Each structure stands twice: as C-alpha cells, then as structure tokens.
Amino acid sequence: MTISLPKTPSFRLDGRRALVTGAGRGIGLAAAAALGEAGADVCLIARTSSEIEDAAEAIRAAGGAADTLVLDVLETAAMRAAILERGPFDILINNAGTNRPKTMAETTEDDFDTVLDLNLRAAFFVAQAVTDGLLGAEKPGTIINISSQMGHVGGPLRTVYCSSKWALEGLTKSLAMELAPNGIRVNSIAPTFIETPLAKVMLKDPEFRDAVLSKIKLGRTGQVEDLMGAIVFLASDAAAMITGASLLVDGGWTIG
C-alpha cells in the first residue's frame, strides 16, 4: 500500500514583503538578513541612513532583495504615512528598542518616557500602520514583536525595561486575538542577553557577565544567529497555526 506522506510547510518567504525596524545593527540587522536569505523583499528602517544602506547593499550582494526607509519610528504621523505609502507589508519585525539600566531611585522621567516610548508606544503604532495596510489590501500577514526574557521575569536595574517588555507581551496577545479573524498572526520572540553592540558593553563587566551566565542554563550568551531561525520560522507558513505566543530564545533562563 502506498502511503501519502504529509509535506512540511515551506520556510521560504518568496514573494513576501518584510519591514524591519531598528534594522541597522544587532538583532534588526540579523532579522533583515535572515528574511532576505529566505526570499523576502526586505525594507530596513532606522534613523541613520548609512547603516541601513550598507546593510541593504550587503543583502542584495548576497542575492536578496532589500531597500531602505530612513525615519524615526517615534514620529508617528511621518512613520505611518511612509509605511502606508510603501506597503502593504506581509511581515513586520518590530525590533526598535532601548534600555537605560538604573535603580528605581536613579530613574528619571526622561528615562521612563524614553524607554516606554520606543519599546511600547512606537511598537504599537508601527504595528497599527502595518496592520492598516494589510486590512486595506485584504491580505493576511504576520507581526513579530522583539520582546525579551525580561518580559517574563524581573531583573535588577531593569524596572522600566521589564515594564515595557511585559507590556509588549500583553500587546502581542491582545493583538493576536483581535487580528486572528483577518488572518494576521502576532507573536513575540523573547531573547536572553544577545551579544549585540549594546549588550557587549555591559557584558565586559566580569561580575555582570558571571551573573548573566549563572542564569543561562546552556552556559553561554546568545548570538544574533541564534534568533535568525526563530524569526524565519514565525514569519513562514511553518508557523501558520501559531499566534499569540512568545518564543523564548533564552538558553533556559526562565525555566527556573
């Protein structure tokens, strides 16, 4: 008897358009590279032209398709107009973010507003713009919010950062419920400490690095490459039944 085997859904993203915020370096750059390698046409967003122009050129040199959009995601009206003009985008990687590690006593109103504005407010309104483009075109899509393990646990000197990432996890679940009838999936990726340019500065402190490694069960910090497969997976048809989830790429930090 001939058995008809099920076929693995494709991880390829050919024919899809992807938007990546904070794409000039670190996780954003890795996300753009991964999506480009998987066949997506990637638009890289950042405030600095030179970084994303170089990144887009590298993606094109590797055989992918990429262009750039220089804007500040905190300037909501300009951001929204630009995204709607360039869109619709099938995939959004909501990556732009920041941190100001301080004790609660040291934290100023400017610290609070800066972290919450970029990590949460901008993420919400970028997602809104991309979603409006998809709804207007009556297309399905996927939104991936780059969260953090700190959206699932607490951490010293990270009261405001944790607040922003816990809120982003709530946003992810609520949007997933709202947009599911329209075929738009919304998930988050929650990394541990990834050796980006920003994190490398903190990890130079031996005491801090030892404290971090004591929490990561796999015994090492993450590299941006550790996130690239997760990004492509959640963006692809292989994750077609996944929405409202947080994919923890934390080396076991949050398991206890």
Residue 75 DSSP label = S
Q: Exposed, middle or buried by CB within 10 Å (0-12, 13-18, 19+), for 52?
A: buried
Q: First CA to last CA across the chain, in angstroms?
A: 49
pLDDT value of residue 71? 95
pLDDT value of residue 199? 87
Minimal CA–CA distance to 126: which of 89, 156, 153, 160?
Answer: 89
Helix (H, G, I), strand (E, B) or coil at 42: strand
Contact 212, 203 (CB under 8 A): yes
pLDDT tens, 14-50?
999 999 999 999 999 999 999 999 999 999 999 999 9
Helix (H, G, I), strand (E, B) or coil at 35: helix
φ/ψ (deg, to 5) at 89: -105, 130
* Residue numbers of the chain with a pLDDT score lower than 70: none
pLDDT value of residue 197? 83
Indicate the pairing of strand 246-249 with strand 17-21.
unpaired
Is 161 catalytic? The answer is yes
Dihedral (CA of 208, 153, 198, 188) sign: positive
Name the amino acid, one letter, at 237: D
3-state SS track over 81-139: HHHHHHCCCCEEEECCCCCCCECCCCCCHHHHHHHHHHHHHHHHHHHHHHHHHHHHHCC
Minimal CA–CA distance to 16: which of 66, 85, 90, 86?
Answer: 90
pLDDT value of residue 126? 98
pLDDT value of residue 245? 98
Catalytic: which of 28, 66, 94, 161?
161
Contact 198, 22 (CB under 8 A): no
Q: How far is Cα 14 from Cα 234, in angstroms, rounded to an integer?
A: 15
Helix (H, G, I), strand (E, B) or coil at 253: helix
Strand order in the sheet with 65-70: 65-70, 41-46, 17-21, 91-94, 141-146, 184-191, 246-249
pLDDT value of residue 1? 81
Q: How far is Cα 191 from Cα 150, in angstroms, rounded to an integer?
A: 9
Domains and CATH numbers, the chain: 17-255 (3.40.50.720)
pLDDT value of residue 256? 87
Q: How far is Cα 79 from Cα 33, in angstroms, rounded to an integer?
A: 22
pLDDT tens, 65-81?
999 999 999 999 999 99
Q: How far is Cα 16 from Cα 41, in angstroms, rounded to an integer?
A: 6
Contact 200, 222 (CB under 8 A): no
